[in-house]
Homo-oligomer: A and B are copies of this chain.
Amino acid sequence: MGFRFRNSYFAIAVAFLLGAVPQAVKSQTMEERLQRGDAVVRSLNNGAPQPTLERMRQEFPFLATATQGYALGDVWSRPGLDNRTRQLAAVAVFAAMGEAAFMKIHAGYALNIGVSEGELKEIIYMVTVPAGFPRAIKASQALSELFAERRAASAKQP
């Protein structure tokens, strides 16, 4: 039921198309991509693995691999955008989609890499314009939780 090369014509066509992809990219292995994805998670998450991702490994291994290899290893590691901008844009998109739990995770990453609470608030204010007030208010509630958790955690430390 899968797909297979049907004839040698395909092999030739593919070889041609692949000509546009640099050699360094073509020879990249999944192992390298997974390592890069892991490095991204740890850079964003204070050196720790991401619990949501780890929980998926046993039961949804392809989804875990795709999140780590594609979403984090391929996309989130790209050099053309600084990490602050990428995190703030991602927070805006998750808020606009009504995905408050994912927004909270990525807002936490943003704080970890030096984005201020004030900048996160500004991003949520901005979301009222393209996506309306309910999505911004829901996001503000998730941010309030995040800020409170951070304060509680830092209060515990000596």
Q: Which residues of A contact B (CB under 8 A)?
A: 1-6, 9-11, 13-14, 17-18, 20-21, 25-31, 34-36, 38-40, 42-43, 47, 49, 52, 55-57, 59-63, 65-67, 70-71, 74-86, 88-94, 96-99, 101-102, 118-119, 121-138, 140, 143-144, 147
Contacts and interface: CB of A to CB of B under 8 A. Distances in A.
Copy tally for this chain in the complex stands at: 6
A133 B93 CA distance: 12
For the complex of A and B, list the 3 residue pairs with the smallest distance between their C-beta atoms, beginning with the closest: A81-B122, A132-B132, A89-B92
Given A29-B28, A70-B70, A126-B90, A80 B121 contact: yes
A137 to B, nearest CB: 7
Given A80-B119, A80-B122, A140-B56, A94 B30 contact: no
Contacts of A92: 89-90, 92-93
Contacts of A40: 3
Given A13-B49, A130-B102, A34 B63 contact: no
Contact of A140 (B13, B36, B59): B59
